[in-house]
Structure 1
Amino acid sequence: MKVFVAVLFFAVMLGSAHAVDPGDWETTPPEPTPTSQQCPDGKAWDEKTKKCIDLDARSFNDLDRYRAARELAYAGRYVAAGLALDAMTDKSDTVVLTYRGYIARKSGDWPAAEHYYALALAANPDNLSARAYLGMGLAEKGNLKAARAQLVEIRARGGRETWPERALLMSIRPGGAAFY
């Protein structure tokens, strides 16, 4: 199994609630696991029990739910990914909003995608992943000027030589396709 580099950690908030902070985001799509290959919508693979269980089960934390949402989204299982986000403790977390935008964009609902990216950026203007995904969507829509503006923002906010910068650059270049 490939090991992918990810900077993910929990920030303790209000007792047992946690927020997911993916830092510089992952640089490769997640590998398929039983979560995306076997589990029905609303469930994820539990390593302890070796079966699919409800995402809102106590054995899962927000990092597990985030990873499930990401894996399911990249597998094209957008409804299931949304259910994983629904199980998150803080549904207004900028990571949740960013992934809601991603799911909406990949599902073809650009107005909803823009809405979620705007919410994520209003809560955290330094959310480089939201800026990259927004820029990719803008590039897909042919609005390269606005996509480049997101690239400028990414760089201005310390995102030089990061995944968000590289991914957006790939989308903006002539003949380029969205990295994710």
Structure 2
Amino acid sequence: MRLTLFALAFVPVTAFAAGSSDPEPPKPSETTQNCAEGLVWDLATQSCMTPEDSTNDDNARLKDIRELAYAGQYRAALDVLDSLDDPDAPMALVYYGFAHRKAGQVDLGMAYYAAALSADPDNLLARSYKGQAHVQAGDMVQAQAELTEIRMRGGRDGWAEMSLANAIATGQGATY
């Protein structure tokens, strides 16, 4: 275990992308490359629009949210979240938690993680981000408890486990 945590300390945190089990960062799209902050690329009109005016479906919006969160544009990510057709979907709740936590509203972020876990106790991403919030607060006991839950729920060797184990080993969660 100690060797595993030591080895994970050298895993580059920036390789982990916010809101996904995909270890690759999101590829920049028109949303972050061409649109002013607060706007998203609308696939149907091929133009930048406000999130509420966009015709994109929730799947496309979730990709924008992931990209915006990775770019540190948490307020813009929250605005896109507010435009989802199903803002109570488990992944949306995880994104709400992540964006609020990273924007400095840790308690609100934790409430969203709790809601995501209430909807799906096997939501490993919510557990990883919740654990990283515990690391940020210096509560390594609760962080370790989330890591144990991830492993018990089949998340061994996945992004959620590696990211949280790295946060525990280094004392720092992902910065995006």
One-letter amino acid matched to 1:31: K
Aligned residues: 159
Distance in 1, matches of 2:154 and 2:52, equals 35
Question: In 1, are the aligned partners of 2:40 and 2:54 still within 8 Å (CA)?
Answer: no
**Alpha-carbon offset, residue 51 of structure 1:** 1.9
Distance in 1, matches of 2:37 and 2:100, equals 17
* Structure 2 residue corresponding to 1:118, chosen from 114, 117, 128: 114
Match of 2:82 in 1: 86
Distance in 2, matches of 1:67 and 1:111, equals 25
- Alignment of structure 1 residues 77-156 onto 2, 5 Å: 77-156=73-152
* Structure 2 residue corresponding to 1:177, chosen from 155, 172, 176: 172
Match of 2:41 in 1: 45
- Alignment of structure 1 residues 37-76 onto 2, 5 Å: 37-47=33-43, 49-57=45-53, 59-76=55-72
Secondary structure in 2 aligned to 1:52?
Answer: strand
Q: Which has the higher strand share?
A: 1
One-letter amino acid matched to 2:58: D
1:35 aligns with 2:31: yes
CA deviation digits over 1:122-153, x for unaligned, max 9? 11101000000000010111100100000000
Match of 2:14 in 1: none
Identity of aligned residues (%): 41
Question: In 2, are the aligned partners of 1:41 and 1:83 still within 8 Å (CA)?
Answer: no
**Alpha-carbon offset, residue 109 of structure 1:** 1.1
Question: In 1, are the aligned partners of 2:94 and 2:113 still within 8 Å (CA)?
Answer: yes
CA deviation digits over 1:55-99, x for unaligned, max 9? 345641111000001111111111110111111111111111111
| Structure with bigger RCO (C-alpha 8 Å, 6+ apart) | 2
Secondary structure in 2 aligned to 1:151?
Answer: helix
One-letter amino acid matched to 1:50: Q
Distance in 2, matches of 1:54 and 1:25, equals 27
Distance in 1, matches of 2:43 and 2:92, equals 24
Q: Which has the higher helix share?
A: 2
Distance in 1, matches of 2:114 and 2:146, equals 12
1:26 aligns with 2:60: no
Secondary structure in 2 aligned to 1:70?
Answer: helix
For structure 2, the residue ranges without an aligned partner over 5 or more in a row are 1-16
One-letter amino acid matched to 1:177: Q
1:161 aligns with 2:157: yes
Question: In 2, are the aligned partners of 1:41 and 1:79 still within 8 Å (CA)?
Answer: no
